[in-house]
Structure formats: C-alpha cells, structure tokens
C-alpha cells in the first residue's frame, strides 16, 4: 500500500475472495432459514440489488 506495488502473494487474495463468497452464501442461507430474506444478489457484480414493488 505504501509503494503502489501489487500483492506478492496472489494465493492469499484468491483464498480471501473465496472465503468472502462462501461466507456471503452461508449468511444468505441462514437468513432464509430464519425467515428473514436478504436482498437478492447480482452475481455478475456481487452487489445487492434493490427490491421493486409490484404495481
């Protein structure tokens, strides 16, 4: 971060990213089981989408 160089250990980045994806899926599943449904995820950008109300 001080020099602007990229990460040296790309395996760590891959592992951390995988953990975050798995943790998100776990959270979404356990939230669904408890009756509290999370917002849907746009998997292309991994961002939460907004719910639209039916007219």
Q: Residue 24 has what pLDDT?
A: 93
How far apart CA 11 and CA 33 sit, in angstroms, is 33
Sign for the CA dihedral angle at 14, 19, 20, 26 comes to: positive
Q: Are 54 and 43 in contact (CB under 8 A)?
A: no
Examine the pLDDT at 30 and tell me if it is beyond 70.
Answer: yes
Q: Residue 13 has what pLDDT?
A: 77
The dihedrals phi and psi of 43, each to the nearest 5 degrees, come to -65, -20
Q: Residue 40 has what pLDDT?
A: 66
For 2-20, the pLDDT digits (tens) are 787 776 777 777 888 899 9
Token pair of 25 as six digits: 């899926």
For 32-51, the pLDDT digits (tens) are 777 765 566 666 665 555 55
Write down the pTM of the prediction: 0.44
């Amino acid at each position: 971060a001080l020099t602007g160089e990229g990460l040296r250990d790309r395996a760590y980045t891959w592992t951390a990213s995988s953990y975050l994806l798995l943790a998100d899926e776990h959270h979404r599943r356990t939230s669904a089981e408890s009756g509290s449904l999370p917002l849907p995820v746009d998997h292309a950008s991994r961002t939460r989408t907004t719910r639209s109300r039916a007219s």
